[in-house]
Structure 1
Amino acid sequence: MGPLAISFAAPAALLGLVALPLLYLLLRVTPPRPREIVFPPIRLLADVVRKDETPAKTPWWLLLLRLSIAAAAILAMSGPAWSPSAATPFSNAPLLIAIDDGWPAAPTFEKRLEAARAMAAGAARAGAAIALLTMSEADADPTPDDGARIDERLRAVAPKPFIADRGAAAARVRDFVAAHRNARIVWIADGLEQGEAHAFASTLQDAASRGAEVEILADAHVARALVSPANHAGGLSVEILRAARETPPRGAVSAFDAQGRVVAQAPFAFGAEAKTSARFDLPIELRNEIAALRVDGEASAGAVALLDGRSKVRRVAVLSGASADLAQPLLAPQYYLDKALAPFAEVRQPRPGVADPLLALLDEHPNIVTLADVGVAPGATFDALTRFVEDGGVLLRFAGPHLANADDAFTPVRLRRSGRVLGGAMSWETPKKLAPFEPSSPFFGLAVPDEVTVTRQVLAEPEPGLPAKTWAALTDGTPLVTAERRGKGLIVLFHVSA
């Protein structure tokens, strides 16, 4: 490899340049001049302007052009290659190319592969054995191979959507150094510490102390990533991280729907920090259509955040039967429901002066309807609520005096109209604690807090199938939370007040 870092796939073709002098002589050969015979009538043509002239010898510029074309053809057949990353001469020492193929390397991965292929080609011309080690597939030993097979493998390498643990790769490097004396190791790094980069670098340092030649290649690209997307009731936000300050201080995050169309863009600015955030202030309907977020100009999996059904903001309608009877708002059930639901959902309450609050809330197409001690009588509201549940809506109910003394069809179980009801004479004197949740309950796996006690509740009427409908119960076995499927929807009842 010369100082210009130019290599030739077929150097034997350069011997054709030796034949250029012979070609020069052949191009100068011209036919003999014709013999002149004086023919008197030809003088009549002396004054006629000649349109075509044949030179006695080949012009110099045409000769130079033909020689240049021949030299270019010879150089093309020799297969020249420009290898700026391999300017130093190669030896026949075994070469191990270690490549970080995680998502931080994705934006400049083609350049990394070009550098690796150039080094492999130079080592192959020098007669060196070549081995390839990708961090994502470090469980297998890197087997030395010829240059053609290594080039074929490099063409098939693609960045992975994760950061591989370099611990296994470090073990492969130690084995390679132990098996090949005076080996050469080239690490094409992504520049991030994640994935045990420090431990891998220590392994390379140890290999250098044992006689191996170690080289680390990296580019100037600084990785950026998206973390913690959160679609709250007030807006959609996401955090942007950067690996170093040597990156553009400003940028934008684009939001895409499930069809890949851009819904909106949000700008961000790092300032002097390594972390910032972007926020999308959009209507809830548009935010629920967003399926992915992506940093503009950052082609890597780390710069993409996917949103699924768990990221959608639900619209919850809240209605309380006790709100009109309470002069103090802080004692109203909807106050506590709003505090509990507002951080995670868009809470809708009936507008003042509406004739039928529940029917008005159903017209706003909520995902969940929460009724705190509200009875539903037969009529238009009853029919609308029935359609809401059967079409896939969730009806969440809390008990109270009105529900305990009413005949209501929107309960998952039959309620006892007398006995240990809220405010009744048979309320127990000592508070009851919650029993551990059954495996069939959605609450299974949650720790039962000792400080939670229940002093009054609406009892469920014993009936077949009651245990299957019970999500939570007290230590004496009485159901505290029951649920039942209705059509495509669900009815959930808390046997206590809100």
Structure 2
Amino acid sequence: IRSAPRSPKTIVFPAARILRGLKSNRRDIQRAPIWQTILRCLILTLLIIAAARPVMNRNDFAADDGAILIIADNGWDSAANWRQYRTALDQIANQARFDLQTVYIAQTVPEATGASTWKLPDIVGPLSPADTTSLFDRLQPRPWSADYTALSDLISERPEMNRSVGSILWLTGQMDSPDKAELASELLDIAPITIISPTTTDRIAIRSLNRSGTGMVATLSHNRDDLPRTVNLLARGERGNVILRHSVDLAANTDQSDVAIMLPSDISNAIQSVGIEGIESAATMFQTGARWQQRRVGVVASSGDGPGVLSDQYFFLDRALSPYADVTYAPLGTLLENGVDVLVSAGPISGLGSQFDALERWINQGGMLVRFAGDSSSQIGNDFLPVRLRLGNRDFGGSMSWEKPKRLLDFPENSPFHGIAVPDDITVTRQLLAEPDPDIVSKTWARLTDGTPLITSAPRNAGRLVLFHVTPWADWSNLPMSGLFVELWQKILPLASPSNRSDAELQSSLPAQTVLDGFGHPHQPDALILPVQTPLPTPSPRHPPGIYGENGQAVALNLGPSLTDIGRDVVWPSGVSTREVTDQSQIDLAALCLLAAFILVLFDALILLVLNHVSLRRSRRSNALTSVLLAVILTGASIAVMHPLPSAAATNLPEAALQPRLAYLETGNAPVDRLSHAGMTGLTEILRRRSAADLNSVDGINPETDELSFYPLIYWPLVDGQEPFSERAQDRLNRYLNNGGMILIDSRDREVEPARL
């Protein structure tokens, strides 16, 4: 064939017929529809945008170069706007997280340290944004003023921090304070400063609260405003119940307002504290103390004494007592039947013969008898006296004497009058002399320059006897007509309570009973709080506002009287920028982009299944399967971005399991729940200071719905009307106790049946 090949033949046939029915397994990319190409390009675009982590409503508080120094002004004036302060702190932490910046945190108020001192906390840092958020959760306002001078010294002691800081953010209000503007001038030499202030600029404090003949008078200090404002005063009783709500109009362009409120005596006596509705601050909480309680004072009068005689003899006494007590003039028997708190008698006690046993029983049960000398022609007897008296009286400056009138010495430390300034113009021309018994010094509350007693006192069972060695009118001394006489009665009246206090207990050093936090919530004091002495000190870390002393000696240390010029705004130096806290939350758009990409991938997979008529069980399921797998991956990524790990402030169960904390049972009674939260927060703070326990913020829990096993200690306050727990809640409580849990049940001075527990 090769040597003699055949000649080729030409054959005519339809060549295109060979291609009929030919199938190819290779896909041509040009066959993809335009809509699918656009859809998948859009998905890729969303993924690229998500990788860039875009943010909506971004708050650029500081430049993105260098560290951030945050000065958190947590003095008393920050409590009213603390929610806005926390919002700003969280926004700053988010910015630091976005820009990968480190943070330094400085506080402005001192804390108690050592045995009797206090100092400003050290500047913390550098911190990561996550650690910054955790520290913010433990930051709380304090019920005393800031110390900007000490903060300036702390900042100057950190040169390495000053070199690394690129911007300074100062969270503070616009109220002027000593050395505040000067500190801003010094900080400008380190880095640019931005002042972040709350949107509400109202500042208000209760400066004073006094009893009047018709009720009470309150003095409010506040910032000036071009428009009048209205606030509501809330008076609360012993259990925190509101017993009075009174509207107060604050005039425009004024920084002080006085308001008089007419109240019956019994309602005034029931008031334990007065606050301002809607403003939680120690400056807007004014506690009353024992001095506020108006005592019922009975002046022993003879049945034949008319109104003219009584008004003439007891004029000065009535003027001193009437603003602070309910004064009644009546015979002794009538006064004892009416159950007065204090009896006052000048000279011999009228009607004592028939009422001797009744008077003795009344004193032994807690009554106070205050006696004065009578006229020079009569003696006051030997019964119901704190000391033994010599016969007659002592006369200075008379025609038969060459001695000059005597003056008063400073009050001794064992006297309730200790700390009151003695005017130089108080003189005594005549007095009753006491026998120099061995215990005369301990019974003396006031003495003259020659050492002789002027006022003596002694306990008698649960009651007390007090003797003024002069008359209540101005013939023996000018003491009754002086302002000192009023101050003495202000100290004597609170002592009239049914508690057996010896002379050793009537000291001027009063331990704290309850103290206020920055929000004005009372809680139990810790070991770092020292007793107060008269005159009362300015609130500080060692002496926070609160109630000091027990029963009749309880005095209220309030923040308001120590505040001055709260209406004056600070003048910032040039170069300081200011801005307000915004409520617009920063939104991470990466999560939204991932969610949109996930929805588009699902849409792409659905369209492929419908148009190509494929099933996941056939061989051509790769396109749909790829889309489904990609959708699952995007779902997990979007969930991770949209639901990050909860912050330290959250109160959900997984966080309580990871970060230990204390808890309290919610009762539904708002004042009790606030008190429980404040008390457990204080306990948490003390445990942080005095132990290695790193507890997080307190949780309020409900055994009906919440898991209890995450909490080492649960505080349970009992309240009236509390519904019994269901069987499910009881099982949870019993299981919690069986597994080693601890529940502190507080009956709150109530009789509780064991079966109920």
Return closer, same or farther for 1:158/1:225 CA change in 2, 3 Å cut-off. same
Counterpart contact for 1:432–1:475, Cα < 8 Å: no
* 1: CA distance, partners of 2:150 / 2:277: 33
Counterpart contact for 1:106–1:159, Cα < 8 Å: yes
* 1: CA distance, partners of 2:296 / 2:50: 69
* 2: CA distance, partners of 1:105 / 1:152: 20
Q: Which amino acid aligns with 1:480?
A: L
Alignment correspondent of 2:326 = 346
Alignment correspondent of 1:93 = 66
Alignment correspondent of 1:224 = 204
Q: Which amino acid aligns with 1:258?
A: E
* 1: CA distance, partners of 2:98 / 2:308: 91
Task: Give matches, 1:25-174, under 5 Å.
Answer: 82-86=56-60, 90-136=63-109, 138-174=120-156
Return closer, same or farther for 1:375/1:154 CA change in 2, 3 Å cut-off. closer
Q: Secondary structure at the match of 2:338?
A: coil
* 2: CA distance, partners of 1:184 / 1:396: 67
Report the alpha carbon displacement of residue 328 of structure 1 after superposing the two structures with TM. Answer: 6.4
Report the alpha carbon displacement of residue 174 of structure 1 after superposing the two structures with TM. Answer: 4.5
Counterpart contact for 1:375–1:408, Cα < 8 Å: no
Return closer, same or farther for 1:220/1:479 CA change in 2, 3 Å cut-off. same
Alignment correspondent of 1:57 = none
* 2: CA distance, partners of 1:345 / 1:214: 55
* 1: CA distance, partners of 2:178 / 2:376: 60
Report the alpha carbon displacement of residue 379 of structure 1 after superposing the two structures with TM. Answer: 4.9
* 2: CA distance, partners of 1:73 / 1:427: 111
* 1: CA distance, partners of 2:168 / 2:359: 71
Alignment correspondent of 1:483 = 457
TM-score w.r.t. length of structure 2: 0.50
* RMSD between superposed Cα atoms in Å: 4.0
**Higher mean displacement: 297-306 or 240-249:** 240-249
Counterpart contact for 1:441–1:472, Cα < 8 Å: yes
Counterpart contact for 2:347–2:380, Cα < 8 Å: no
Report the alpha carbon displacement of residue 329 of structure 1 after superposing the two structures with TM. Answer: 6.4
Report the alpha carbon displacement of residue 304 of structure 1 after superposing the two structures with TM. Answer: 1.4
Q: Secondary structure at the match of 1:316?
A: strand
Alignment correspondent of 1:45 = none
| Percent of pairs with identical residues | 28
* 2: CA distance, partners of 1:338 / 1:495: 18
Q: In the alignment, which of 235, 239, 243 is matched to residue 263 of structure 1?
A: 243
Report the alpha carbon displacement of residue 264 of structure 1 after superposing the two structures with TM. Answer: 0.4
Task: State yes or no: 1:400 paired with 2:363.
Answer: no
Report the alpha carbon displacement of residue 169 of structure 1 after superposing the two structures with TM. Answer: 2.3
Counterpart contact for 1:428–1:456, Cα < 8 Å: no
Q: Provide, for residues 114-161 of structure 1, a one-character-per-residue CA deviation record: whole Å limited to 9, x for no partner.
A: 222222332333232211122226441342121111121122222222
Counterpart contact for 2:373–2:380, Cα < 8 Å: no
Report the alpha carbon displacement of residue 462 of structure 1 after superposing the two structures with TM. Answer: 4.8
* 1: CA distance, partners of 2:353 / 2:166: 86
Report the alpha carbon displacement of residue 221 of structure 1 after superposing the two structures with TM. Answer: 1.0
Counterpart contact for 2:222–2:255, Cα < 8 Å: yes
Alignment correspondent of 2:16 = none
Counterpart contact for 1:338–1:347, Cα < 8 Å: yes
Task: State yes or no: 1:180 paired with 2:180.
Answer: no
Q: Which amino acid aligns with 1:204?
A: L
Alignment correspondent of 2:655 = none
Report the alpha carbon displacement of residue 474 of structure 1 after superposing the two structures with TM. Answer: 3.9
Q: In the alignment, which of 364, 371, 375 is matched to residue 338 of structure 2?
A: 364
Return closer, same or farther for 1:130/1:406 CA change in 2, 3 Å cut-off. closer
Return closer, same or farther for 1:163/1:421 CA change in 2, 3 Å cut-off. closer
Q: Which amino acid aligns with 1:145?
A: L
Counterpart contact for 2:373–2:470, Cα < 8 Å: yes
TM-score w.r.t. length of structure 1: 0.73
**Higher mean displacement: 443-452 or 72-81:** 72-81
Q: Secondary structure at the match of 1:180?
A: helix
Return closer, same or farther for 1:130/1:367 CA change in 2, 3 Å cut-off. same
Q: Secondary structure at the match of 2:335?
A: helix
Q: Which has the higher contact order (CA 8 A, sep 6+)?
A: 2
Alignment correspondent of 2:526 = none
**Higher mean displacement: 193-202 or 428-437:** 428-437
Task: Give matches, 1:445-456, under 5 Å.
Answer: 445-446=419-420, 448-456=422-430
Counterpart contact for 1:372–1:400, Cα < 8 Å: yes
Task: Give matches, 1:229-248, under 5 Å.
Answer: 229-245=209-225
Alignment correspondent of 1:288 = 269
* 2: CA distance, partners of 1:298 / 1:144: 34
Return closer, same or farther for 1:79/1:394 CA change in 2, 3 Å cut-off. farther
Task: State yes or no: 1:213 paired with 2:203.
Answer: no
Counterpart contact for 1:225–1:303, Cα < 8 Å: yes
Return closer, same or farther for 1:401/1:123 CA change in 2, 3 Å cut-off. closer
Counterpart contact for 1:395–1:492, Cα < 8 Å: yes
Counterpart contact for 1:139–1:169, Cα < 8 Å: no
Q: Which amino acid aligns with 2:237?
A: D
Report the alpha carbon displacement of residue 336 of structure 1 after superposing the two structures with TM. Answer: 1.8
Alignment correspondent of 2:256 = 275
Counterpart contact for 1:233–1:346, Cα < 8 Å: no
* 2: CA distance, partners of 1:362 / 1:114: 61
Report the alpha carbon displacement of residue 285 of structure 1 after superposing the two structures with TM. Answer: 1.8
Counterpart contact for 1:174–1:203, Cα < 8 Å: no
Counterpart contact for 1:233–1:313, Cα < 8 Å: no
Alignment correspondent of 2:349 = 375
Return closer, same or farther for 1:465/1:213 CA change in 2, 3 Å cut-off. closer
Report the alpha carbon displacement of residue 229 of structure 1 after superposing the two structures with TM. Answer: 1.6
* 2: CA distance, partners of 1:70 / 1:262: 62
Return closer, same or farther for 1:167/1:380 CA change in 2, 3 Å cut-off. same
Q: Provide, for residues 160-204 of structure 1, a one-character-per-residue CA deviation record: whole Å limited to 9, x for no partner.
A: 222322222233444557732562111111221135322222223
Return closer, same or farther for 1:218/1:249 CA change in 2, 3 Å cut-off. same
Q: Secondary structure at the match of 2:465?
A: strand
* 1: CA distance, partners of 2:128 / 2:237: 47
* 2: CA distance, partners of 1:363 / 1:78: 85
Alignment correspondent of 2:564 = none
Q: Provide, for residues 219-246 of structure 1, a one-character-per-residue CA deviation record: whole Å limited to 9, x for no partner.
A: 2212222221223443222222222416
Q: Provide, for residues 303-356 of structure 1, a one-character-per-residue CA deviation record: whole Å limited to 9, x for no partner.
A: 2112211222222222356983997666x3211211222233332223xxxxxx
Counterpart contact for 2:61–2:194, Cα < 8 Å: no
Counterpart contact for 1:323–1:333, Cα < 8 Å: no
Alignment correspondent of 2:175 = 192
**Higher mean displacement: 357-366 or 398-407:** 398-407
* 2: CA distance, partners of 1:250 / 1:149: 42
Return closer, same or farther for 1:304/1:461 CA change in 2, 3 Å cut-off. closer
Alignment correspondent of 2:689 = none
Q: Which runs of 5+ in 2 are unaligned?
A: 1-31, 111-119, 473-757
Report the alpha carbon displacement of residue 404 of structure 1 after superposing the two structures with TM. Answer: 4.2
Q: Secondary structure at the match of 1:144?
A: strand
Q: In the alignment, which of 271, 287, 305 is matched to residue 324 of structure 1?
A: 305
* 1: CA distance, partners of 2:76 / 2:45: 45
Q: Which amino acid aligns with 1:341?
A: L
Counterpart contact for 1:412–1:482, Cα < 8 Å: yes
Alignment correspondent of 2:284 = 303
Q: Which runs of 5+ in 1 are unaligned?
A: 1-24, 30-63, 351-356
Return closer, same or farther for 1:171/1:429 CA change in 2, 3 Å cut-off. closer
Alignment correspondent of 1:391 = 365
Counterpart contact for 1:333–1:372, Cα < 8 Å: no
Report the alpha carbon displacement of residue 471 of structure 1 after superposing the two structures with TM. Answer: 2.8
Q: Secondary structure at the match of 2:464?
A: strand
